[in-house]
């Protein structure tokens, strides 16, 4: 059962108390707010009490029962939210040998573009100074090249508000997916962007302040460009920096944990409960992803992607499901305690 | 407009107090005048400058008050009658030199006219300049009406020449800026070739070097000089008394309070009971004269502006008078009969007198007062907040600065300074100014904040400084900041003139007070030479400012941003619109979320107003200066600007 954990009535309070998730949902909709490298910023005080910004902010109090009923037509008893199917998955044979890793999201997004479901994918890539850069991918190449892991949040919804884009799908974090759900049920009087055809959520336990993380990464460079950084699975987690010359360096994860967004410490959503499809790691086998299908639309997409060899799916291990359920519950519990 | 220099002797004109001073200066044959603009003093130098082609007088707007006084002193040293003019704050700036000038003495007559601003009608303080006269031991004269304002100048020159000392004249706003009838006198011709004699004996006041040493010797002369001054004024016709021979209550007053006191006495029909002694020399006080009046009355009321200057002086004389065998009751600021702060006026004195005499007096109509309060606090009258003029570049500048500070998100702030842009402390400047003190202080304070980074201070520090203020006292703190590796952004709001006081030229401009032959000193050349990274932007270039300013203020050193655009009321912009502004009501979302009438609620240009029935903004075409900035800030591109035809 999802319960309301967000404490704030207005997005202004969210910002002033540093609980902004940096999703960008309130940006580019009015002249009162702007975005700096980390968060939404109030440039001028607005005296509108129930503004669009308050309605779509993921950190403003959410009536989850109501929202679930509106989005899924029913309430889910599962701590991971509404689930139609759950699989272990990886990119299909179509991509071999180019994509050797699990890459479920990349595979799904490529399929969305190539099958004409959407013309563009709104996603995030690593930009200048390792700052996340939201963009509309229009080719398979762009999708594949953006596939670096980014540990910081991206103001992806601010780009959406500005674009006027009609045919696109979306890949983002649970907080961003929540904001899109809130946007979907927004009353008619508010201006709203066109909603995505397919919403894919990435699992998320926490994310970092982009500017602080970027500043930190700069200190690790030593005249060598960074290729990727990965967090190891299992206990005693490490972050591994892989450089362009293929040299590697590792640090204790605590080093970067100090850059975790304050909003992540109160977030209850591990798997992106308002998505069509949610994808994350599979704790029991690092060569596969976990794939949660929440909507009929999502189910159709996965079926077709499998048919066309974009994706491979396998039955989900029982013990993994138990672990994921526990992790989801714990994320909610942790906030309460 | 008549020219005050062309008035014939005995010709009478209605004129402002400051014109009367100017006429007095011309009549005295002064050949040198210097000052720094500041309300309520500016018209004196301005008038002298306007008349300079006829009078032949050298008139300058100096870089600041200290330099003004120094240049004027030089003229005195070179045997020329000379005058220096400033507002009350100016004396603070000039006081360092003034102290030493008091010691060194002067040669040809030198007077300092100071216009105080009781009630701070256009100041950020109601400082008292009179105490400088006392502290620095120089004679002080306070004229009380317009004729006297003119006549006293000549007296002051004569006193200065007799005592070989600078003489200070203090005016107040209500004398400088009110008008009365003034009768002209002859214009004296002073034709001494300027020459500075400096080779004589060191102590020779006429031919020796001019300096404040030997100190104790000179100080003795100063004490003697004040005694001389006292006797000089003992029988002066300028000290006047009106009233019965032995008044129940003696009012001792000076300056404009003389007229207020006379009016109050008349209003309460106290002519037979109360007398008014008007003093013109208030430092040193005419001791003998005051002692004579102690014998004539048992109670004394002091009426004067701001601090109890005369009150304390007279009480000192009373305490020193061992022969006097009577107790006098004193009323004034100490007793609470006259307020300690703000301007005095006739009503205040009427209230004091009615309290002292136990008279029931009401000078107001109760019903009228009630109506006034009702109207003020109901919604009938709209709020009238002080704001920038339509088309003012400062409104645009603050829009950008607020944007940059907020984006920077380090709880940044601006250290304010003195000029129109002081209004940045109010909503029209998005309340971005968080400190406001004296001229140049903004950058000095910012320099101090900026070095606190040593202790982990991380807030973003900006200062604003006007172009005239920059020359006046903004350069030294900038150098200080650079030298000490402070971290700040100094924003020079360059609107091409000393706009607040009426476009007096400053050293950055081509023209001087009387001509057009000055050498402009470029602000950016100075800031670059100081070692500050200097950026020049036009505040009306919306896109560039929005992009650049946040980048600049984030840089961890001393940055200078010159936001340059002439004032909307400046001669080059007045009555000229860049754009005609229209509103596209199809695009305007008005009160809806997504704008919420941003232009009238936040941007608040007076030429944009909210039509209460349509709940949409409208342009007041009469007020609109056509700067086009509102079109840039409109989020829905509903404000349209079209190039204006200024033919």
Cβ contacts of A77 within 8 Å, gap of 6 or more: A1
Percent of chain B with pLDDT over 70: 100
List the structure tokens of A213.
């993380």
Q: How far is it, in rounded angstroms, from Cα A18 to Cα A212?
A: 15
- pLDDT tens digits along B473-513: 999 999 999 999 999 999 999 999 899 998 899 999 998 99
Given a cut of 90, whether residue B524 has pLDDT beyond it is: yes
DSSP lists the bridge partners of residue B504 as B498
pLDDT at A99: 64
Q: How far is it, in rounded angstroms, from Cα A24 to Cα B160?
A: 72
Q: What is the largest CA-CA distance in chain B?
A: 88
Whether residue A36 and residue B593 make contact (CB cut-off 8 A), yes or no, is: no
Using an 8 Å Cβ cutoff, are B128 and B101 in contact? Answer: no
Q: Nearest 5°: phi and psi at B335?
A: -80, -10
Question: ipTM greater than 0.85, yes or no?
Answer: yes
pLDDT at A229: 79
CA distance A67 to chain B (A): 22
- pLDDT tens digits along B70-115: 999 999 999 999 999 999 999 999 999 999 999 999 999 999 999 9
| Chain A residues in contact with B590 (beta carbon < 8 A) | none
SS3 of A1-67:
CCCCCCCECCHHHHHHCCCCCCCCCCCCCCCCEEECCCCEEECCCCCCCCCHHHHHCCCECCCHHHH
pLDDT at A100: 65
Tell me what the mean pLDDT of segment B5-32 comes to. Answer: 96
**Residue B409 sits at the chain A interface (C-beta within 8 Å):** yes
Tell me what the mean pLDDT of segment B143-165 comes to. Answer: 96
pLDDT at A2: 40
- pLDDT tens digits along B550-595: 999 999 999 999 999 999 999 889 889 999 999 999 999 999 999 9
| Chain B residues in contact with A51 (beta carbon < 8 A) | 593, 596
Q: Which of A36, A50, A189 has its CB closest to that of B409? A: A36
Per-residue DSSP letter, A190: S
| Chain B residues in contact with A57 (beta carbon < 8 A) | none
pLDDT at B379: 74
CA distance A189 to chain B (A): 9
Instruction: Tell the residue number behind the tokens 């029909």, with chain if given.
Output: B269
- The C-alpha torsion from B535 through B540 and B544 to B548, rounded to 10°, is 50
Q: pTM for the whole thing? A: 0.92
Mean pLDDT in chain B? 94
- pLDDT tens digits along B357-385: 999 988 778 899 888 888 888 777 777 88
| Category of B431 on φ-ψ map: left (φ > 0), alpha (ψ -120 to 50) or beta | left
Tell me what the mean pLDDT of segment B12-20 comes to. Answer: 97
| Low-confidence stretches of chain A (pLDDT beneath 70) | 1-6, 98-100, 147-149, 234, 335-337
Q: How far is it, in rounded angstroms, from Cα B575 to Cα B295?
A: 64
Q: Is the dihedral of CA B514, B517, B518, B520 positive or negative?
A: positive
CA distance A190 to chain B (A): 7
Q: Nearest 5°: phi and psi at A299?
A: -65, -45
Q: Which of B409, B593, B601 has its CB closest to that of A190? A: B593
Using an 8 Å Cβ cutoff, are B244 and B275 in contact? Answer: yes
Q: How far is it, in rounded angstroms, from Cα B268 to Cα B556?
A: 67
Q: How far is it, in rounded angstroms, from Cα B503 to Cα B497?
A: 5
Strand runs labelled E in B57-183? 58-61, 82-87, 110-116, 140-141, 167-172, 179-183
Tell me what the mean pLDDT of segment B33-55 comes to. Answer: 96
pLDDT at B467: 96
Q: How far is it, in rounded angstroms, from Cα B398 to Cα B404?
A: 10
Rg of chain A on CA atoms, in Å: 19
Q: Is the dihedral of CA A195, A198, A199, A202 positive or negative?
A: negative
Rg of chain B on CA atoms, in Å: 28
Per residue in A115-128, is it b (16+ CB within 10 Å) or e — as a string? eebbebbbbbbbee
Whether residue A30 and residue B402 make contact (CB cut-off 8 A), yes or no, is: no
Q: Between residues 582 and 621 of chain B, which touch chain A (CB distance below 8 Å)?
A: 592-596, 598, 601-602
pLDDT at A286: 86
Using an 8 Å Cβ cutoff, are B403 and B550 in contact? Answer: yes
List the structure tokens of B354.
């009615």
């Amino acid at each position: 059962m999802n319960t309301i954990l967000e404490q704030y009535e207005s997005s202004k309070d969210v910002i002033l108390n540093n609980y902004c998730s940096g999703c960008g949902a309130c940006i580019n909709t009015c002249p009162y707010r702007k975005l700096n490298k980390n968060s939404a910023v109030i440039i001028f005080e607005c005296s509108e009490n129930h503004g669009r910004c308050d309605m779509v902010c993921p950190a403003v109090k959410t009536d989850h029962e109501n929202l679930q009923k509106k989005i899924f037509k029913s309430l889910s008893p599962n701590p991971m939210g509404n689930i139609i199917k759950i699989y272990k998955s990886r990119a299909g044979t179509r991509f071999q040998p180019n994509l050797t890793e699990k890459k479920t999201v990349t595979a799904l997004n490529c399929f969305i573009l190539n099958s004409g479901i959407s013309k563009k994918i709104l996603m995030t890539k690593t930009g200048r100074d390792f700052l996340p850069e939201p963009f509309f991918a229009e080719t398979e190449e762009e999708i594949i090249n953006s596939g670096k892991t980014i540990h910081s949040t991206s103001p992806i919804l601010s780009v959406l508000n500005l674009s006027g884009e009609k045919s696109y799908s979306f890949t983002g974090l649970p907080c961003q997916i929540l904001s899109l759900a809130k946007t979907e049920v927004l009353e008619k009087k508010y201006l709203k962007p066109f909603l995505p055809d397919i919403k894919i959520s990435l699992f998320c336990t926490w994310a970092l302040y982009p500017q602080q993380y970027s500043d930190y990464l700069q200190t690790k460079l030593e005249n060598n460009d960074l290729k990727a950084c990965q967090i190891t699975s299992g206990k005693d987690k490490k972050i591994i920096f892989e450089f362009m010359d293929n040299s590697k360096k590792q640090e204790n994860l605590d080093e970067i944990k100090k850059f975790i967004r304050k909003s992540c410490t109160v977030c209850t959503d591990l798997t992106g409960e308002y998505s069509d499809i949610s994808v994350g790691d599979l704790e029991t086998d690092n060569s596969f992803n976990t794939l949660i299908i929440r909507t009929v639309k999502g189910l159709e997409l996965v079926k077709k992607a499998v048919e066309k060899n974009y994706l491979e799916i396998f039955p989900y291990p029982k013990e993994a499901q138990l672990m994921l359920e526990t992790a989801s519950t714990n994320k909610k519990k942790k906030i309460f305690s | 407009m008549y020219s005050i220099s062309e008035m014939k002797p005995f010709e009478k004109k209605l004129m402002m107090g400051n014109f009367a001073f100017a006429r007095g200066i011309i009549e005295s044959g002064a050949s040198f005048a210097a000052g720094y603009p500041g309300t309520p003093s500016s018209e004196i130098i301005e008038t002298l400058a306007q008349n300079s082609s006829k009078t032949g007088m050298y008139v300058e707007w100096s870089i600041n008050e200290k330099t003004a006084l120094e240049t004027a002193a030089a003229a005195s040293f070179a045997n020329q009658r000379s005058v220096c003019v400033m507002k009350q704050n100016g004396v603070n700036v000039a006081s360092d030199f003034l102290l030493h000038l008091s010691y060194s003495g002067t040669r040809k007559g030198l007077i300092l006219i100071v216009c105080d601003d009781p009630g701070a009608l256009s100041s950020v303080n109601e400082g008292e300049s009179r105490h400088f006269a006392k502290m620095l031991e120089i004679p002080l004269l306070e004229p009380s009406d317009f004729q006297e304002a003119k006549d006293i100048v000549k007296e002051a020159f004569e006193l200065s020449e007799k005592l070989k000392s600078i003489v200070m004249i203090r005016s107040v706003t209500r004398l400088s800026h009110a008008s009365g009838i003034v009768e002209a006198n002859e214009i004296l011709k002073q034709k001494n070739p300027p020459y500075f004699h400096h080779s004589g004996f060191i102590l020779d006041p006429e031919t020796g070097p001019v300096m404040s040493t030997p100190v104790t010797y000179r100080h003795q002369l100063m004490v003697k000089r004040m005694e001389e001054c006292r006797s000089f004024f003992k029988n002066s016709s300028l000290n006047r008394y009106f009233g019965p021979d032995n008044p129940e209550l003696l009012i001792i007053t000076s300056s404009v309070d003389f007229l207020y006191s006379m009016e109050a006495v008349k209003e309460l029909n106290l002519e037979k009971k109360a007398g008014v002694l008007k003093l013109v020399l208030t430092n040193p006080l005419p001791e003998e004269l005051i002692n004579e009046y102690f014998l004539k009355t048992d109670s004394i009321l002091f009426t004067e502006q701001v601090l109890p200057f005369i009150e304390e002086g007279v009480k000192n004389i009373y305490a020193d008078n061992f022969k006097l065998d009577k107790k006098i009751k004193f009323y004034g600021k100490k007793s609470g009969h006259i307020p300690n702060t703000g301007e005095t006026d006739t009503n205040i004195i009427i209230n004091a007198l009615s309290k002292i005499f136990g008279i029931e007096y009401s000078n107001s109509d109760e019903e009228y007062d009630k109506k006034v309060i009702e109207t003020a606090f109901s919604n009938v009258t709209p709020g009238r907040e002080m704001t920038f003029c339509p088309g003012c570049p400062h409104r645009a500048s603050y829009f950008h600065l607020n944007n940059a500070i907020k984006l920077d998100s380090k709880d940044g702030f601006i250290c304010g300074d003195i000029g129109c842009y002081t209004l940045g402390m109010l909503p029209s400047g998005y309340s971005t100014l968080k400190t406001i003190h004296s001229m140049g202080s903004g950058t000095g304070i910012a320099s101090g904040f900026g070095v606190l980074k040593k202790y982990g201070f991380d807030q973003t520090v900006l200062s604003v400084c006007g172009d005239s203020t920059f020359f006046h006292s903004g350069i030294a703190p900038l150098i200080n900041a650079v030298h000490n590796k402070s971290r700040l952004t100094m924003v020079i709001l360059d609107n091409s003139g000393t706009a607040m006081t009426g476009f007096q030229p400053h050293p950055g401009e081509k023209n001087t007070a009387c001509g057009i032959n000055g050498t402009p000193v470029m602000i950016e050349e100075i800031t670059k030479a100081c070692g500050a990274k200097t950026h020049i932007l036009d505040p009306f270039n919306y896109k560039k400012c929005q992009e650049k300013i946040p980048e600049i203020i984030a840089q961890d050193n001393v940055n200078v941003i010159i936001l340059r655009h002439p004032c909307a009321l400046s001669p080059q912009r007045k009555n000229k619109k860049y754009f005609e502004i229209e509103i596209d009501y199809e695009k305007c979302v008005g009160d809806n979320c997504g704008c919420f009438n941003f232009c009238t609620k936040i941007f608040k240009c007076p030429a944009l107003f909210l039509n209460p029935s349509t709940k949409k903004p409208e342009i007041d075409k009469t007020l609109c200066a056509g700067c086009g900035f509102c079109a840039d800030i409109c989020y829905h591109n509903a404000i349209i600007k079209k190039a204006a035809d200024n033919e």
